[in-house]
Structure 1
């Protein structure tokens, strides 16, 4: 690994860390101060969470779609996310229906 590649890698980690830190502090500030309406605070929290996931994928997991390997990594990530969504969503759906149907 060349010296230039190491510096750009460290720079990428620092940029990713700062972005993740800002995307963590912003929702905490609005929740702690309650300076915005509740709905707006929820929207900010959700948006910062989604953006932070993307930042982690790009800066820390190096998930890029430009290369062949990156595309396969992305496809496997999406497949895993769908399976997790089906398992969690199906479990919640089953528990919800059991709760409704078993209530006296």
Structure 2
């Protein structure tokens, strides 16, 4: 029984090279937006757009290199669960904001 657990755990872990690549990419994807914010050379709207884009790219890097979510058949259930969770969170936050805006608009009209 212990061997089955170890075999499963070994199959899902990445190599040192994979973790090193993920770490270097994460550092780069953090330093570039940090530099743009600390030394503003672009308009604020462009800086915000770049920071958000780098954040999304960094999420993908973390999912791939550290959480090992990819398109392999073994990971299909995990990716589906992750996407469903993201959808539920987006709906919960989006609809809550919509309700609060609607209530605010209704209250201010009177």
TM-score (norm 1): 0.86
Please, which of 74, 90, 94 is the counterpart of residue 85 of structure 1? 90
Which blocks of at least 5 consecutive residues in structure 2 are unaligned? Answer: 1-6
Q: Which structure is richer in relative contact order (CA contacts within 8 A, separation 6 or more)?
A: 2
- Displaced runs of 4+ in structure 1, greater than 2 A? none
CA RMSD of aligned residues (A): 1.6
TM-score (norm 2): 0.82
Residues 37-75 of structure 1 show CA distances to partners (whole Å, capped at 9, x for unaligned) of: 1222122111111110110010000001122x3111111
Mapped to 2, the partners of 1:44 and 1:85 lie a distance apart of 21
Match of 1:47 in 2: 53
Which blocks of at least 5 consecutive residues in structure 1 are unaligned? Answer: none
The structural deviation recorded for 1:25 is 0.8
Please, which of 29, 32, 36 is the counterpart of residue 35 of structure 2? 29
